[in-house]
Structure 1
Amino acid sequence: MALGALRPSPLVEQATAHLREQITNGEWAVGTKLPGETALAKSLGVGRSTVREALRALAGAGLVRARQGSGVFVIATTPEEDWSTQLRQAAVTDVYEVRALVEVEAVRLAARRRTDEDLTAVRAALAVRRDAGRGDDAAFVEADIALHEALVTAAHNPVLTGLFAQFVPVLKQGLLDLVELLDLRADDPRHGEEGHAALVDAVERGDAEAAGRALREELDRTLALLHTL
Structure 2
Amino acid sequence: MPLATTRRAGLVDQVIGQLRDAISQGEWVVGERIPTEPALAETLGVGRNTVREAVRALAHSGLLEVRQGDGTYVRATSEVSGAIRRLFGSELREVLQVRRGLEIEGARLAATERTEEELTKLTGLLADRDRAQLEKNHEDFVRADTEFHTCVVHCGHNKLLSELYRGLTEAVSASVAATSHDTLEEKVEIGHQGLLDAIADRDPARAAAEAGGFLDRLLRAESESPRR
Indicate whether the TM-score tops 0.5: yes
Q: Percent identity?
A: 30
Please give the alpha-carbon distance, in whole angstroms, between the structure 2 residues aligned to 1:9 and 1:199. 51
Partner of residue 163, structure 2 = 162
Letter in 2 for 1:204: A
Displacement of 1:93: 1.3
Letter in 2 for 1:145: T
Please give the alpha-carbon distance, in whole angstroms, between the structure 2 residues aligned to 1:125 and 1:113. 18
Aligned partner (choices 205, 210, 217) of residue 209 of structure 1: 205
Displacement of 1:85: 2.7
Which digits, 9 at most, give the CA deviation of each residue in 1:132-171, with x for residues without a partner? 1114212111111111111111101111111111112012
Letter in 2 for 1:192: I
Segments of structure 2 that go 5 or more residues without pairing to the other structure are 1-7, 17-53, 62-78
What is the aligned-residue RMSD (CA, Å)? 3.2
Secondary structure of residue in 2 paired with 1:192:
coil
Segments of structure 1 that go 5 or more residues without pairing to the other structure are 1-7, 17-53, 62-81
Please give the alpha-carbon distance, in whole angstroms, between the structure 1 residues aligned to 2:121 and 2:15. 44
- Gap change, CA 1:13 and 1:224, over 3 Å in 2: same
Displacement of 1:209: 0.1
Please give the alpha-carbon distance, in whole angstroms, between the structure 1 residues aligned to 2:152 and 2:82. 25
User: 1:171-186 residue pairs with structure 2 within 5 A?
Assistant: 171-180=172-181, 183-186=182-185
Partner of residue 125, structure 1 = 125
Partner of residue 69, structure 2 = none
Please give the alpha-carbon distance, in whole angstroms, between the structure 2 residues aligned to 1:226 and 1:171. 15
Aligned partner (choices 163, 178, 192) of residue 190 of structure 2: 192
Rg larger in structure? 1
Partner of residue 110, structure 1 = 110
Please give the alpha-carbon distance, in whole angstroms, between the structure 2 residues aligned to 1:187 and 1:216. 20
Secondary structure of residue in 1 paired with 2:167:
helix
Q: What number of residue pairs does the alignment pair up?
A: 159
Which digits, 9 at most, give the CA deviation of each residue in 1:41-97, with x for residues without a partner? xxxxxxxxxxxxx9xx9xxx8xxxxxxxxxxxxxxxxxxxx5333311302211221
Please give the alpha-carbon distance, in whole angstroms, between the structure 2 residues aligned to 1:159 and 1:109. 13
